Every structure is written in C-alpha cells, then in structure tokens.
Amino acid sequence: MKFKELQIPSEVLRAIDEAGFVDCTPIQEKALPLALSGKDVAGQAQTGTGKTATFLISLFTKLLSQQKPGDERHPRALILAPTRELVVQIEKDAQLLGKYTGFNMQAIYGGVDYMKQRDALKAGADIVIGTPGRLIDYLKQKVYSLKEVEALVIDEADRMFDMGFISDLRFILRRLPAYDKRQNMLFSATLNARVMELAYEFMNVPVKVSVTPEQMTAERVEQVLYHASRKEKFPLLLGLLRKMGMERTMIFVNTKRECEFLMDRLNANGFPAKVISGDVEQRKRMKILADFKAGELPIMIATDVASRGIHIEGVSHVINYDLPQDCEDYVHRIGRTARAGAEGMAISLADEDGAFYIEPIQEYIKQKIPVEWAEDDMFVHDYVRSKPRPPRPEDKAKGKGGRGGRDDRSRDRDKGRRGDKPKKDATVKAETPAGVGGGGNTAAPAEGASEAGGESAEKKKRRRPRKKKQPSGEGGAEASGSGTPDSND
C-alpha cells in the first residue's frame, strides 16, 4: 500500500514525499487505515518498522480535520515516551512530517533548561511530547491543562512498566478527558498482559494490531555469538573492530562504570569512542548522539537507556559486550541496526556470567543465535592498557583506598611511625609467680597459661577487694602473725 492511497491531508502528504516515503511498512499498512478512521489502536511491531510515523500521520490528520476548541494555549495532543532520547527523536520526526501543518510542537523532558521549557509550554503548544516526570511537575504548577486533549499516544508502553513510570502514567491519564472523548493510540515492540490491561482501562475498545509476532527480531539482522572468558573479551573486541572495519558501531554494556572503563581502553588503542548513560549530562548526550549520527564519532558505548527509540541510520554493527539480563533488551539493542529495510550485524560476547542469559534470550526470540568460535589470530594481546580503574565513591567513604580514605597498609605505617607497641600477651604474665614473697602458687606451663592467667585476671577484676584487718595491739602486728599477704588476695 502507498501513502497516496490513504485519506491523508495534502499538507502531510507533501512532507511524506519530501522525506522519501512511498510505500507503507507492514505496521503502517495495518494500523493507518484504522487510526485515520478515528478508532483506537494498540499496535505491536518490531522496533524500527515505522511506528512513530504511523501515530504522527494519524495525529496530524485528526487535528487538521477540525478546528481547535477552547483555550489556544492548552495542548490538543499528548505523546508520552519513557526516555529523553525517545522524546527528542519523536519531536524530530514530528517536525519533519508536520512542517506544513502549522502546528506548534514542544518537547518536555528533564536534564535541560527548566524555565525555558516552562515558558514555552505556558506560551502554548498544539502537540506536547514528553516524559511523565517533568510533565507532572508542570501540571501540578498549572502551567498547562490536559482538559482539551483530543488525541493521546503512548509509545513504548512496556518500557513504562520496566522503568517504574506506571504510577506517573496513570496520574496523567486520569486527568485527561474521558476515554470516549479522545482518540487513543498505543504502540510498543511487545504487548504483554500488563500493557493490554492498561489499554483496556484507558482506551475506547482498542483494535489490537500485530505484525509478525512470532519473530521478535528484525529479519535483516545477522546475529552471531562468540564465547570468550572475561579476560578475553576486550582482546576479541579489538580483533573484531580491526578485522571488520566497523564504521558506525554501538556497543552495549550493562553498567555505567564498565562503560567508562571500556571507553578509556578503546580510546587508548586508537578507536575513538564516547559513552551515553544516565550519569551523562543531557546536553552532552545530545552532542554525542549528533556526532554519532553525522559520522564524526565511529563508536558509541551505551547502557540500555539508548536501546529504546533512537533511530540512527547507517548503524552497521551492534555489539553486546555484556549480554543483557532482560530478554526484551536484547531485541531492542539489536534493533538499532537494520532499520527501515537496511541490513546490519549483531555480535554478542558471552563470558562466564553472560552464558547464563543465552538460553532465556533464545527462548524469548524463538530462535537459536548462531555460534562462531574465534580463531587465535582474532585476539589482540599487544593492546595498550589504560589506567587502572579509579576507586568508587562508596569505597572511598569506607576507607578502602583513594584520596578520600586510608587503606589498611597506610594505617599500619602510621601506627609504626607513632611507635605504638603491641600489648603484652597473657603468656608473659604467666611466667612470673602469682604472689610476691612466695605465698602463692607458681604459674602453669606456657601452653595453658594464656587461658589460666586470663581467667584469674578476670575473676580478680570482678571480685570485690577484701578489707585489711586492723592491728590487734599497740605493737602493730597483724592478726595473721606473718608479714606475707593472704594467699586469697
């Protein structure tokens, strides 16, 4: 089916032609006729198959077909997405497909100028695209109202659950007009029971549309798996980069700390790379994405924050340096390549820990990942070692090293400089007689002296001291008649 065959306004068709879109993708062919007729749609399709264009074309068509009622400042359509990167990507596509519609579109997300976004939203926007957190913040300040929203879109709904946004999502949905007073669209790579429950609760009898649900991954992605120990992963990664000449590569790692360590090693060995993670400032993240899209940055290392919704054309390779613990994340990771009908390759490295995730991933995607065994010449062992990992903040706080705390060796050195002497052991005391002048028993042999001496010392400490007897006469002689102390003292 071609876009010209559908009932799409001329303003939108003009932008579609300029973008180079001619034929509909499978999800667009199934969902667009329903959405253009005003029905609610819950769509499931592989990532990178045109879900964003589907709901944007439907939104523009609906808003152009009727005049805006009520206050001009308040939004007519709301698009919700789980991550900042996805919001930015949707806004970019909306500006491209809607540049002849005359609609004012505003992206709302955290990490950038708070007051600038607040003023822009207060001034008025027809279509608002945002993450739940900051939208709720402005909503509680009454910067805008949701009472005039005519269309709602929830993108990557399953990710909303995974990231803990479901309570925020419900907070927003309960402040919209009634479900039968607006058009609702929900799109996601996976439609599980939780997502469909949300759809039936806040949508008006949605029509479920699925495209190739039996195949989770894109058809044009070539998958391969290498087994390598933890120490062999980086030498193998270098060998693959040198052998295949990967021009635009995304490397996924599970932790932020490992991202930075891998970036240092790659840069030290002549492979320019930068990191996108939750700790990186939003403006810096946008700059890294722009450089990567422009081809100025060949390698981008990321956590799973970048595996959802980012559309970057020409990504030749995706490398799972760490296999994901969540099976769905594997699908979204490798979906960064082979987008919009292109071809790509996904390489996974499985170490001792990652091997436990292979079987669940294969069960989820319903196919076996081909395994290849790396030859000895694929490993690079003469690579440059980067600087050792810096101590983590929590280690510094506990005094395990670094400038913020002292380790055990430094404490021992300081103790030696102060001249601190070790306390005398109980065995030393046991070598001398218990009393002075002979009246007491001698100590036991050294083997049992420690326990005996320690026990008697403890008893003496607990026992109340005996009062001395008064002299019986003027001569000052003691009642015992001897000059030695009592043996019980």
DSSP conformation letters of 117-143: HHHHHHH--SEEEE-HHHHHHHHHTTS
- What does the alpha-carbon distance between residue 80 and residue 154 come to, in Å, rounded to a whole number? 5
pLDDT at position 101: 93
Binned average pLDDT, 10 residues per bin, the chain of 489 residues: 90 92 89 93 79 93 83 87 88 94 92 89 93 93 93 88 84 92 87 84 90 63 92 93 86 90 92 86 85 90 73 86 89 79 86 92 91 90 72 56 44 46 44 41 43 48 57 43 41
Dihedral angle over CA of 32, 222, 268, 311, nearest 10: 0
**CA dist., res. 292 & res. 284, Å (int):** 12
DSSP string for 329-398: HHHHHHTTSS-TT--EEEEEEE-TTGGGGHHHHHHHHTSPPPB-PPPGGG---SPPP-PPPPPPHHHHHH
Question: CA 151, 152, 156, 157 torsion: positive or negative?
Answer: negative
Q: Structure pTM?
A: 0.66
Sketch out the chain's domains with CATH numbers.
3-210 (3.40.50.300), 221-390 (3.40.50.300)
Phi, psi (deg, nearest 5) at residue 404:
-85, -10
* Helix, strand, or coil (residue 155): strand
What is the distance between the terminal CA atoms of the chain, rounded to a whole angstrom? 108
Residue 394: what pLDDT? 57
Question: C-alpha 302: how far from its chain's center?
Answer: 9
Q: What is the reported pLDDT for 441?
A: 42
- Helix, strand, coil fractions of the chain, as percent rounded to 5: 40, 15, 45
- What does the DSSP assignment read for 291-343? HHHHTS-SEEEE-GGGSSS---TT--EEEESS--SSHHHHHHHHTTSS-TT--
The confidence score (pLDDT) of residue 92 equals 92
